[in-house]
Structure 1
């Protein structure tokens, strides 16, 4: 979380203007950044390179910023000095008052000794809550009882003490952890009034005290002589209550002052670190040495605050907690203002946070709508029980249900089970395509409907009973492929949580230089590579964060901004095809392959295809946007270089890298070691066990996994098995055999490719694979040589290439929401149509040509 948010929530509201002006300093840093970047641009008149970025300009920036920091430091020092002086004086007064009360002791009870006969007249004359000196007319017991029950208790006049209005119930609540709860009126009556006598009494307070002690001794003799801090009658009770409030308030003030010092010290450290990072300076260490020797931040000042807090704890222990220091600490900390702890965000945490706040469904890392606008109302229909609102989603729900019921009652395909499976397939397809309900909920319909309508058949073609079908369906839903998906989530979470993704990416980007074309290609390569390991949901989110410094320093209306944002989105989509765990559609394809190909075979095809696609799309964007040209058409722009992080790798980061590389290596040679590990899903358990057992990841991280994607994939696998088991796939075989009869394998590839591209452009990439992989499987089984795995592989790769619309995959959706400093969108629909559609076609052609050749080379 940003420090500005931490400052906002942790600061004492009354002191807000006295804290470091962090946001104002940050804005000034960005202004210096813009000025610095302008000095890099080519002089349009002389065409000579500016040299202002040298030592003089950097020194000037440092001196200017140091003056601003000094102003803030002076403000903090002045406020601290004033506040510390006030609090120390108040503490000294409090300690003197405690000593005075020690001297007065129980004799101070004369404040409660007023037994005048004219109680009623005095009651009318007294002003409520007015202070009374020791010489004031003393009150009668009846009067004291009446005022107590009315919620008014006279306090002893002492130092800064004043009268306080509290009901007996409030008294009891505030000191319930100190004394046995006592009703003030009952206590006073039992200790001062004998058997209903309410007349004039001339008994002195000492007699009252002796009576009180004697009555208590009859029950249990006191171990020591009672003091004002331990006695259990009204005067002592109220005295403790008074000092409890004074000590507590002063304790809170000192802890607030301590927090004030800590927050401002963090503020100076954070802002100087921000300055060094943005301006490429080394001011932080030098200026923090100055801060550390300034009054509020010196060790002597910290010791004074801590000493004052300890003195208050001792006073509370003596005056309120009856000598129990542990109780005193506990009670004081209950009153202490709690600071709000902020944890630095990772891309993974941001992504899951958006899902849990309802800003996105996250069912599909490549195609589900993540950001939902309020659904527009089509029509409102008044009914006797209220207004019934008709929306688009409700219409689709009704349509899907109607078609499902209709298909169940009409014989479309031969075979009872096959016809019912066709109805289920149609019902789920409509819900998936329209997103009428969350995608993973539609997936949960699949096992429910397969069992209820008895669609599953055994190997002999006999319809399974519901108990048998249930066991079969759930056994195939949690397959090794699902465990592979969870293993991918574990790797992604570990890379993000340990900040390895950001460190590696910034180091790579630091090599890109300042040429727009080179920076563009580097960002595309990084986005694609990141998508392979932290999914094509997290990768663009991370990259869009890293390009903020570049976007801030671009000339107004520069074409490089929208070009870079679109390039990252398109590259992230391409990255979705590069590794088996980069997107769910790849895992669905792996699950359908027989035999499954290993990771080495996948990389042998996917990496060259992705690399060629990235380069061709890069050329497309260069021609379309001409991003190197300055907005006025004269000269070229230069890009702010990315500065690599200086922090060295930690032992934990090296451990995460080792486990990830070890796991990926085993995946690549899985066929060789299959007799030992059984399946890639077992290998996926390695990072899960090692990261969680060594506290790299914790229980909360496991709970944050995108389980909606897991259930979406499980439903897709179950539907695919249902299509095969019900006999529907055999029916499709017959129809497809007639369509592909006489066609060569490559002709089928060229027919299948555009179909897959169109479907994946308009619906979720994962759902496209759920629907189209069984078709590719059926087509392959009817071709000579049974090239089933080849067609499934091509289908999965092209599913990731559907990126022609703003809604085509999460990377596009995220790119479409990026805004500049004025709140204007960088991209519009024309940008996607003009560049996204050609990029989709290019990627599809690369898959169907180069990808096809490579698949034949590896033996598919």
Structure 2
């Protein structure tokens, strides 16, 4: 079958699923089990969104806008017809929520740091101290990428670190297996670093928004207290796997020379560093000054663009498609909640009998499986929307588990942008990515599910302090 035929078949299947979902909503096929008209509409929107997000028949952000359109033109009238006083703002607000502002500020800060090459300067400073041992350089690449990924886009971090890792790897003979380990350290670090902070990955921020909806408002620092230990443990284990799988003698490595222009030492760079430091400090001290993480992100963006550290043209270069994707997912979550779909779906299954630990494993596993096949942002949106309807069980640990499971899922070359970058380098085979990605995913999930109850007893109160 040719690529064109495959695309045609995929489009046809997507169209069939979407039509059937709309038809089922119109006929209210689950009315006998208690699902109302609005619930049927929300279910149809979920099926259509999931189908389009998995198939990528449309750009991901277009699907998010389609969700918004469906909520405004189909779900809202259905809710009003049932006597609910629903304003369109309920579905528009997620696109400019605190979560979106948090990531908007994070993206602006990332762009400013990259403009003056402060991120590259930090990476080089760390790698220069790693020496020439392949083992030490593997761990240095892994740790540096993970640290940067906590604060910057994991895609941008992976792109920058791959630019450093490829020349280092190419100082070795083509047949030396350390080359593979060096390059795989970058996507692993970028994926795992996202666990560490609320801005480390979109699923984290979406989970923070969901936690706020149930009046659990963890601070930026509280999330770090939960996530940083996971990053440290998983990076250590992932580095150990890389060394075990790809050890090949003890050759000497060399870091390629730095570019001649030292833009990270200019006055602009120092001012950028000042804004970045102030932003990080405000994020970490939210309990003291009372600003939300999104408010701090907004102040950061205003400072960067208002001071000229970022030009107006650079506003257009920010990844707006990611913000729209997140907004659409949050909007879908509101649809599932307001329509009663979440409560109905949970009433059809014995979720409450599983207990908190069983629910963590069930929803975390589902999130990891979906994230392997589709955008982890889209997967988090779908699963978190259902978890919000769980009123019989403590939802805080389940929401956090879903976010972590999305970040830990990296078994395929297409699972995350950093994986795809490593594969696109031409130095790493799909088989290598699947082997190390699957091993890291399985090990991470097993470790998380077995240690989460104990760790949550220690850190969990921080997530309920404001409730």
> Partners of 1:434 and 1:685 in 2: how far apart?
34
Report how far residue 693 of structure 1 moved. 1.5
Inter-partner Cα distance in structure 2 for 1:461 and 1:848: 41
Match of 1:685 among 298, 315, 319: 298
What is the CA–CA distance in structure 2 between the aligned matches of 1:410 and 1:724, rounded to whole Å?
A: 18
Q: CA RMSD in A?
A: 2.2
- How far apart are the structure 1 equivalents of 2:327 and 2:131? 45
Determine the structure 2 residue equivalent to 1:540. Answer: 158
Residue of structure 1 in register with 2:351 after alignment = 739
User: Which runs of 5 or more structure 1 residues have no equivalent in the other structure?
Assistant: 1-374, 380-389, 630-635, 820-825
Q: Tell me the TM-score normalized by structure 1.
A: 0.50
The equivalent of 1:183 in structure 2 is none
Q: Which residue of 1 aligns with 2:307?
A: 694
Distance 2:437 2:169 in 1: 21
Query: What is the CA distance between 1:459 and its match in structure 2?
Result: 11
Name 2:278's counterpart in structure 1: 662
> Which residue matches 2:115?
497
Distance of aligned partners of 1:456 and 1:586 in 2 relative to their CA distance in 1, 3 Å threshold: farther
In structure 2, do the counterparts of structure 1 residues 750 and 473 end up closer, same or farther at CA, with 3 Å as the change threshold? closer
2:434 aligned with 1:833, yes or no? yes
1:396 aligns to what? Answer: 13
Q: Which has the higher contact order (CA 8 A, sep 6+)?
A: 2
Which residue does the alignment assign to 1:768? Answer: 379
1:608 aligns with 2:235: no
Could you say which residue in structure 2 is the equivalent of 1:717?
Answer: 330
Q: Which moved more, 1:683-692 or 1:606-615?
A: 683-692
Q: TM-score, normalised by structure 2?
A: 0.91
Does residue 418 (structure 1) correspond to residue 22 (structure 2)? The answer is no
Q: Distance in 1 between matches of 2:102 and 2:91?
A: 19
- Mark the CA change 1:660 to 1:849 in structure 2 (over 3 Å): closer, same or farther: farther
Looking at structure 1, the residues matched to 92 and 456 of structure 2 have their Cα atoms a distance apart, in angstroms, of 33
Post-superposition offset of 1:644? 6.6
1:662 is paired with a residue of what secondary structure? helix
Residues 12-70 of structure 1, C-alpha deviation per residue, up to 9 Å, x if partnerless?
Answer: xxxxxxxxxxxxxxxxxxxxxxxxxxxxxxxxxxxxxxxxxxxxxxxxxxxxxxxxxxx
Partner of 1:748: 359
Query: Partners of 2:398 and 2:28 in 1: how far apart?
Result: 32
Alpha-carbon distance in structure 2 between the residues aligned to 1:459 and 1:719: 18
Q: Is the 8 A contact 2:337 2:389 kept in 1?
A: no
Distance of 2:312 and 2:48 partners within structure 1: 37
Give the secondary-structure state (helix, strand or coil) at the position aligned to 1:609.
Answer: helix
Give the superposition deviation at 1:681.
1.7
Of residues 304, 316, 320, the one that matches 1:707 is 320
Corresponding residue of 1:653: 269
**Shift of the alpha carbon at 1:574?**
0.7
Q: Is the 8 A contact 2:332 2:385 kept in 1?
A: no
**Residue 206 of structure 1: aligned partner:** none
In 1, Cα distance between the equivalents of 2:278 and 2:77? Answer: 40
Pick the structure with greater CA Rg.
1
> 1 CA distance for matches of 2:80 and 2:147?
43
The question of whether the paired residues in 1 share the 8 Å contact of 2:14 and 2:52 is answered with yes
Residues 759, 444 of structure 1: alpha-carbon distance in 2 compared, 3 angstrom cutoff: same
Matches for 1:793-832 after TM superposition, within 5 Å: 793-819=400-426, 826-832=427-433
Kept after mapping to 2: 8 A contact 1:396/1:434: no
> Match of 1:748, SS?
helix
SS in 1 for 2:318: coil
Question: What SS is found at the alignment partner of 2:75?
Answer: coil
Q: Give ranges in structure 2 of 5+ residues lacking alignment.
A: none
For residue 4 of structure 2, the aligned residue among 377, 397, 402 is 377
What is the Cα deviation at residue 701 of structure 1? 0.7
1:524 shift after superposition: 0.3
Change (3 A) 1:547 1:565: same
How far the C-alpha of 1:798 sits from its partner, in A, is 0.9
Deviation, 1:452, is: 1.5
Instruction: Give the distance between the partners of 1:476 and 1:571, measured in 2 at CA.
Output: 30
Report deviation, 1:735: 2.7
| Structure 1 residue 460: Cα displacement | 13
Say if 1:734 and 1:831 are closer, same or farther in 2 by CA, change over 3 A: same
Q: Which moved more, 1:452-461 or 1:679-688?
A: 452-461
- What is the CA distance between 1:457 and its match in structure 2? 7.9
1:661 is displaced (CA, Å) by 1.9
Q: Do 1:802 and 1:840's aligned partners in 2 also have CA atoms closer than 8 Å?
A: yes
Q: Distance in 1 between matches of 2:246 and 2:37?
A: 57
CA contact (8 A) 1:507 1:644 kept: no
CA–CA separation in structure 2 for the residues paired with 1:610 and 1:568: 14
Does the 8 Å CA contact 2:169/2:183 hold for their aligned counterparts? no
What number of residue pairs does the alignment pair up? 451
